[in-house]
Amino acid sequence: MNKKLPYGISNFKNLIEDKYLYIDKTEYIEKIENFHSPYITFLRPRRFGKSLFTSVLANYYDINEKDNFEKLFGETYIGKNVTKEKNSYYILKFNFTGLNTDTKEDLEKTFIRTIKDSFNKFIEIYNLDVSYIQEGSAASIFENFLTQVSFKIKGQIYVIIDEYDHFANEILSFQTELFSSIVSKTGFVRKFYEVLKKGTEFIVKRIFMTGVSPITLDSLTSGFNISDDLTRNDSFNEMMGFTKKEVMDLIKNIVPKTLKKTELKELLETLQKNYNGYLFASDGKERLFNSDMILYYMKSYMNSGKGPESLIDKNIATDYGKLGKMFDLKNKSANMQVLEDVLKGERITARITEGFSLEKDFSKDDFKSLLFYLGMLTIDKKVLDRSTLKVPNYAIKGLYFEYFNKKLNETIDYEIDVSDIEDSITEIALEGKNENLIKVVEKTLNKLSNRDYIKFDEKYVKLIFLAYCFLSKIYLVKSEYEVESGYIDIALLKQANMEPTYFAIFQLKYITKAEYEKEGEKIIEEKKKEAIEQLQKYKASQELMGLPNLKKWALVFVNDSCVVNSEIE
């Protein structure tokens, strides 16, 4: 019998009791318990299964869930490989999402309310006769709570903190001073963690914390320097997110009909292209899928037999929209250079920072590392003591281009109507005409040329062209697309669920004003000939032969004008 798709379910007990499918990650409970440190921090991008995993941990170790063990864990790895500490702790759980970050006062007030909610729930669940002080700082309330509880319970506490840095990421990019004040030596957040550290001396036996970035972690280190960060540990690479096998198991268990081999192959290719690619440890066994995005896609697939119109779950898009503000952090121009390098396909290398502080210089490596932790870049391979990084998948690349478009509009101080761009791509798809897209690109180049042409080159013009193609969801847009005879500048290929009449490839050449003034029409003819020869070579490639009605255009731009728009047969 098929199980239900667990989209949006982060409560493990509900998931099991209501017959949702659970992708078994419980082998990592054993690994965590056997790890040399009882205090663990684990970072993963937004919507990567962190909350569900903390719920699994809580249910496994909760002294109150002893009688439910078989029902909850009987069919899992850990149910058959029980550890000695199962059901032996009082669970104190904090979740720091949803705090009010408008002002320091609002933040502190909601922080205190959140921890008190956790304390009250703890008292209620374990039926304790405990009173603790209600007024004062977060640290003093926490300290008093731990002291009072220690008189009333015989066991020890397992503290689980989900999204420890959520509020910090919310305020980081636009209220750096507020961030610094809450994690400074006298800041209420750091003081809270100092109390937690003190708690390990008498009542707190284990700690497991999840988050996204190590910025807060580093800022807290002097107050809380006892945890081990397993984020980039090879043995824990696959602890969250889905492996390919897990995705195949999910499809097999939730799709009511048996898929034909070709259907399964096509579905897996779509999922892999859009949501796979994450590697968090250089020697991790395999690349991972974002679990939320897989469940989001499969929800649509179950309902209609095809994927959703938008590749990105709007919940994730909202999160990543906020994270776009990170580009404004500290050295804005250096960060924007990283963005352009990523989109131009330049080689991105960095020594991934394990923790960074805003009090110190925030280097380019720090910013690239931040993008790695946020899931916007991932490890390609290790090179000596550095890593080469890449965009993990097509869905994330689309987010970069959305952000680039936004910044482009700010730069030219002129809002190009997105619907005009989308209409111009639709015109290619239905009529095989590209004139209106060229006009939009020319308009942008014209606005930019009035400002600063120094950084203009062929790659930048291609970038603008690509950014506009990405705005439409009709095509799978590829840049520097490799075929057996070379690299196509821009390819508009088959996108799942879309049936355009025409597909297209572009070979684009750019000539500066100075080059044209020096060499005249001769250089235009040379560039045109070069582009046409490349297209003639590429069109015979195996991948393109299978595309019906393939349009092949050679484009040559001089300064801000397209002087050649030549279609070849």
Reduced 3-state DSSP string for 536-560 = HHHCCCHHHHCCCCEEEEEEEEECC
Over residues 45-68, the mean pLDDT reads 97
Of the residues 210, 236, 262, the one at which a domain ends: 236
314 within a domain of the structure (yes/no): no
Residues 430 and 386 both lie in one domain: no
Of the residues 267, 283, 309, the one at which a domain ends: 309
Rounded percentage of the chain residues whose pLDDT exceeds 90:
65
Instruction: Quote the CA–CA distance of 166 and 323 in Å, as a whole number.
Output: 11
Q: Across the chain, what does the average pLDDT equal? A: 91
Enclosing domain of residue 477 = 413-568
Residues 417 and 556 both lie in one domain: yes
Output the CA–CA distances (angstroms, integers) from residue 322 to 79, 173, 316, 399, 407, in the order listed. 40, 9, 10, 12, 15
3-state secondary structure of 13: helix
Q: Quick check: 248 pLDDT over 90?
A: yes
398 within a domain of the structure (yes/no): no
Output the CA–CA distances (angstroms, integers) from residue 336 to 39, 132, 374, 375, in the order listed. 37, 49, 16, 17
Span of 140-144, 200-204, 405-409, 512-516 with lowest mean pLDDT: 405-409
Do the beta carbons of residue 472 and residue 421 sit within 8 Å? Answer: yes
406 within a domain of the structure (yes/no): no
Q: Residue 171 sits in a domain of what CATH number?
A: 3.40.50.300
Span of 146-155, 231-240, 281-290, 410-419 with lowest mean pLDDT: 410-419
Q: Quick check: 244 pLDDT over 70?
A: yes
Residues 255 and 221 both lie in one domain: no
Q: Quick check: 385 pLDDT over 90?
A: no
Residues 17 and 146 both lie in one domain: yes
Do the beta carbons of residue 60 and residue 86 sit within 8 Å? Answer: yes
DSSP 165: T
- Which residues, in sequence order, are CB contacts of 240 under 8 Å at separation 6+? 25, 42, 44, 48, 49, 50, 53, 288, 291
162 within a domain of the structure (yes/no): yes
Q: Quick check: 453 pLDDT over 70?
A: no
The torsion angles phi and psi of 177, rounded to 5 degrees, stand at -65, -40
341 within a domain of the structure (yes/no): yes
pLDDT at residue 103, as a whole number: 85
Rounded percentage of the chain residues whose pLDDT exceeds 70:
95
Residues 283 and 211 both lie in one domain: no
94 C-beta neighbours (distance < 10 Å), count: 21
Task: Give me the DSSP letters along 25-45.
Answer: -THHHHHHHHSS-SEEEEE--
Output the CA–CA distances (angstroms, integers) from residue 210 to 80, 94, 207, 509, in the order listed. 26, 11, 10, 47
pLDDT at residue 220, as a whole number: 62
pLDDT, tens digit, for every residue of 322-354?
A: 666 777 777 788 888 898 899 888 899 999 988
Confidence band for 470, pLDDT divided at 50, 70 and 90: very high
Total count of residues recorded for the chain: 569
Q: Quick check: 210 pLDDT over 70?
A: yes
Residue 242 gets the label, from left (phi > 0), alpha (psi -120 to 50) or beta, of beta
Q: Quick check: 204 pLDDT over 60?
A: yes
66 within a domain of the structure (yes/no): yes
pLDDT, tens digit, for every residue of 5-42?
A: 999 999 999 999 999 999 999 999 999 999 999 999 99
Residues 300 and 437 both lie in one domain: no
Residues 216 and 355 both lie in one domain: no
Confidence band for 310, pLDDT divided at 50, 70 and 90: confident
Confidence band for 408, pLDDT divided at 50, 70 and 90: confident
pLDDT at residue 547, as a whole number: 86
Over residues 443-462, the mean pLDDT reads 78
Residues 180 and 272 both lie in one domain: no
Of the residues 357, 375, 390, the one at which a domain ends: 390
Which ranges in 358-505 belong to alpha helices (H)? 364-373, 394-412, 418-431, 435-449, 458-471
Over residues 162-166, the mean pLDDT reads 87
Residues 443 and 544 both lie in one domain: yes
Long-range contacts of 453-458 (CB under 8 A, 24+ apart): 453/512, 453/513, 453/559, 456/510, 456/512, 457/510, 458/508, 458/509, 458/510
315 within a domain of the structure (yes/no): no
Q: Measured in Å, how far apart are the chain's first and last C-alpha atoms?
A: 53
Span of 9-23, 101-115, 335-349, 440-454 with lowest mean pLDDT: 440-454
Output the CA–CA distances (angstroms, integers) from residue 471 to 262, 292, 399, 485, 496, in the order listed. 29, 23, 10, 28, 16
Instruction: Quote the CA–CA distance of 60 and 12 in Å, as a whole number.
Output: 10
Span of 30-44, 60-74, 97-111 with lowest mean pLDDT: 97-111
Q: What pTM was computed for the model?
A: 0.92
- Structural domain total, the chain: 4
pLDDT at residue 328, as a whole number: 76
Residues 132 and 155 both lie in one domain: yes
pLDDT, tens digit, for every residue of 254-277?
A: 998 888 999 999 999 999 999 999
Number of H helices, E strands in the chain: 24, 13
Residue type, 472: S
pLDDT at residue 362, as a whole number: 77
pLDDT at residue 126, as a whole number: 98
Do the beta carbons of residue 294 and residue 247 sit within 8 Å? Answer: yes
pLDDT at residue 174, as a whole number: 61
76 within a domain of the structure (yes/no): yes
Over residues 151-177, the mean pLDDT reads 84
Residues 190 and 113 both lie in one domain: yes
pLDDT at residue 213, as a whole number: 85
Residues 111 and 140 both lie in one domain: yes
Q: Quick check: 387 pLDDT over 90?
A: yes
- Which residues, in sequence order, are CB contacts of 301 under 8 Å at separation 6+? 255, 267, 307
3-state secondary structure of 221: coil
